Homo-oligomer: A and B are copies of this chain.
Amino acid sequence: MARSSSTKQPQSPSRTGSFVELKRPERLVKLLHRLLQTGQHRKIESILARLHPADIADILMLMPIPDTRELIRLLFRLRKGAATVAELPPVYMAELLEDFEPAMIAEFVRRIDPDDAADILQDLPDEKQHQVLQALEIDEVEELRQLLAYAEDTVGSIMNPDVFALPANLTVDEAIRKIRAEGEHLRNVVDVYVVDEEQQLVGVVSMRDLLLAPDEATLESIARPVSVTLTPEMSEDDAASVIARYDLFAVPVVDANEKLVGVVTVDDIVDVLTDAATEEIYSMAALDEDDRVFSPPLRSVRLRLPWLTLNFATALLAAFTVGLFEDVISQAVVLAAMMPIVAGMGGNSGSQTLTVMIRGIALGELKPVNARKALMKEVAVGLVNGIILAGIGFVIGWLWQDAWWLGLLLGLGILVNLVLAALAGALIPLTLKRLGLDPALGSTIILTTVTDVCGFFAFLGLARILLPLFGVLPHTS
C-alpha cells in the first residue's frame, strides 16, 4: 500500500519517541479503551497527537472495532485520521470505512495521496464507492477515475499523479521562486521533473542541482537525462525490481506519448516488495493473499477449502498407489510402518529443492538459460544426500526387526525417493513458470503428492520384486 506524502516525516517531536512507544502497544490499547469509556477525549487527543500515523494504525488494529471507529472520528478532528487510515491494511480499511457517511469518506479521500485514495475506493462496496465519488468535486473525481481505471498491481495503481514538474524554458531563478511558492507542499520532493510544452519529459533536476546552478541558466540546460522511466501499464513487480536493482529513489511514469503522468517513489516499492514476498510464501502453501491472521474465519475457510479439496483428490492417488500393494503389506505389515519414513524424507528434501528454486526465480538468479544447470545440481545434491540417508536407513531398518532385507528396502526407497524429490522440486516451479503461472502456485501440494506416490510406489514396488527373491515372501503368481 502506498502512503500519503504527509506521513513521510514522523511528526513526533522527540528524537526516537514514536519508535519507542511501539514496544508496549497493548498498554496503550487498554489506556485508550478506558479513556474512551469515560469520555476523556481531550486526553486521548493529546496522546494521539504525539504518535506517528503508522503507530496509531498499529494500535487501531489491536482494538475492538467500535473503539477503532470512535478513535478514527477523533483522529479526523486532529487532521490525522486520513493519514492513519492510509496506513491500515486494505482489508481493515474497507471494513472500518463502510460504517462512515460518504461525506466523511470523501473528506478522507481528499486528504490523502490520490493513489491511496484509489486503493481505498477500490475496496469499498460499489454503491458506497459511487456515493463517495458523488460527494467529491468534479476534478477530484476525474483524477480518481483515471487511477481506478488502471488495473490492480500496475504502476498506474501505485504511482502518485501529483508529480512536481516545471517547463524546460524556465530559468533556475524562476524555478526556485515557483518552488518557494509551493512551500510546505513540497516537503518531500527531491527531484524536479522538467517537461516541454507537450508535458513530455525532458529531464530531471535535483534540488541540489538548482542550488549549484547559476540563476539565469534554463532548466533545460542543467537537466540530466532520465535513464529509467516506467509506464502506467507496467506491473508493479517489474517496477519494483527496476527500482531495487538500480537503487533509485524515484522514477517518473510516462504514458504512450512520453507525457509525464506520475512518479513512483522507493517507499511505495518497499510495500510492493513486502507484498511480493507474502504472495510468494502464500502461493507455496496454497493460500490466497487475502487470507490474513485476522481475516474472518469463514473467509479463510472459503479461501482454503478449494485447495484442500484438490489436495484430497491428489491424496487419493497416494492411497491408490498403496492400495496396489495391499498383498505385500498384508504379508509384511512392518512395511506400513516404514512407508511414512520414505514419503516424509522425500517430501522434506523435495521442499528444500523447491524452495531454493522458487526463491532463485524470484531473485532473478535462476533464468531459463541456466535452469538445466540448476536442475543437475539439485539432482546431484539429492543423490549425495540420498546415499548418506539410505545408509542410515539401512542400519535402522535392519535393527528395527533384526531383518537385513527391511534395511535394504528402506535404504533403496529413501535413495530413489530423494532423487525423484529433487527432480520434482526443481521441475515443478520451472514448469509452472514456463506455463506462465506463478512458479510457487500450490507447489507444496503438488510436490508432496509426487513424493508420496513415487515414494510408496518405489518402496512397495521394490518390496514386491525383492522380497520373493530374498525368500522372505513367497513368489506371487
Contact in complex: A444, B351 (CB < 8 Å): yes
Tell me the residues in window 1-40 of chain A with beta carbons closer than 8 Å to chain B beta carbons.
Answer: 3, 7-19, 25-26, 29
Chain B residue at minimal CB-CB distance from A57? B245
Q: Is A452 an interface residue (CB 8 A)?
A: yes
Could you say which residues of chain B place their CB within 8 Å of the CB of A364? 58
Q: Is A42 an interface residue (CB 8 A)?
A: no
- 0 or 1 for each of A203-238: is its CB under 8 Å from B? (1 = yes): 000111011100000000000111111000000000
Contact in complex: B363, A274 (CB < 8 Å): yes
The CA of A380 and the CA of B309, in the complex, are separated in Å by 18
Q: Is A456 an interface residue (CB 8 A)?
A: yes
Q: Is A148 an interface residue (CB 8 A)?
A: no
Q: Is A466 an interface residue (CB 8 A)?
A: no
Most buried by B among A227, A363, A389: A227
Could you say which residues of chain B place their CB within 8 Å of the CB of A452? 340, 344
Q: Is A377 an interface residue (CB 8 A)?
A: yes
CB distance from A37 to the nearest CB of B (A): 19
Tell me the residues in window 74-122 of chain A with beta carbons closer than 8 Å to chain B beta carbons.
Answer: 89
Interface size on A, residues (CB 8 A): 142
Chain B residue at minimal CB-CB distance from A18? B227
Partner of A282, one of B298, B355, B393: B355
Given A337-B322, A340-B343, answer yes or no on A270-B281 (Cβ-Cβ < 8 Å). no
Given A336-B322, A352-B285, answer yes or no on A26-B369 (Cβ-Cβ < 8 Å). yes
The CA of A333 and the CA of B332, in the complex, are separated in Å by 11
Stretch at the interface among A132-140, A300-308, A431-439: A300-308
Contact in complex: A62, B345 (CB < 8 Å): no
Contact in complex: B309, A392 (CB < 8 Å): yes
Contact in complex: A315, B344 (CB < 8 Å): yes
The CA of A180 and the CA of B212, in the complex, are separated in Å by 6
Contact in complex: B207, A356 (CB < 8 Å): no
Contact in complex: A385, B267 (CB < 8 Å): no
Could you say which residues of chain B place their CB within 8 Å of the CB of A444? 348, 351
Could you say which residues of chain B place their CB within 8 Å of the CB of A176? 211
Contact in complex: A286, B244 (CB < 8 Å): no
Q: Is A476 an interface residue (CB 8 A)?
A: no
Contact in complex: B352, A304 (CB < 8 Å): yes
The CA of A206 and the CA of B179, in the complex, are separated in Å by 14
Q: Is A338 an interface residue (CB 8 A)?
A: yes
Contact in complex: A326, B333 (CB < 8 Å): yes
Given A308-B349, A339-B336, A357-B293, answer yes or no on A369-B25 (Cβ-Cβ < 8 Å). yes
Chain B residue at minimal CB-CB distance from A242? B19
Contact in complex: A227, B10 (CB < 8 Å): yes
Contact in complex: B291, A246 (CB < 8 Å): no
Partner of A208, one of B179, B266, B322: B179
Most buried by B among A13, A348, A445: A348
Instruction: Enumerate chain A interface residues (CB-CB to B < 8 A).
Output: 3, 7-19, 25-26, 29, 52, 54, 58, 61-62, 89, 176, 179-180, 183, 186-187, 189-190, 206-208, 210-212, 224-229, 242-249, 266-267, 269-271, 273-274, 277-278, 280-282, 284-287, 291-294, 297-298, 300-301, 304-305, 307-309, 311-312, 314-316, 318-320, 322-323, 326, 329-330, 333-334, 336-341, 343-345, 347-349, 351-352, 354-360, 363-370, 373-374, 377, 380-381, 384-385, 388-389, 392-393, 396, 444-445, 448-449, 452, 456
Listed by A's residue number, 30 A-B pairs whose Cβ atoms lie within 8 Å are A8-B247, A10-B246, A15-B225, A17-B227, A25-B367, A52-B246, A176-B211, A180-B212, A190-B208, A244-B267, A244-B271, A244-B274, A266-B267, A284-B355, A286-B348, A292-B360, A293-B357, A293-B360, A293-B377, A297-B380, A301-B384, A301-B388, A305-B388, A312-B396, A315-B345, A320-B337, A322-B340, A326-B334, A326-B336, A344-B448
Beyond the given A89-B365, A297-B384, could you list 17 further A-B residue pairs with CB under 8 A, ordered by the A residue number?
A8-B246, A12-B227, A15-B228, A18-B227, A29-B369, A207-B208, A274-B277, A278-B359, A293-B365, A293-B374, A308-B352, A312-B345, A315-B341, A329-B329, A330-B333, A344-B448, A348-B448
Closest 9 A/B residue pairs (Cβ): A293-B360, A277-B277, A10-B227, A26-B369, A207-B207, A285-B355, A247-B267, A322-B337, A318-B340
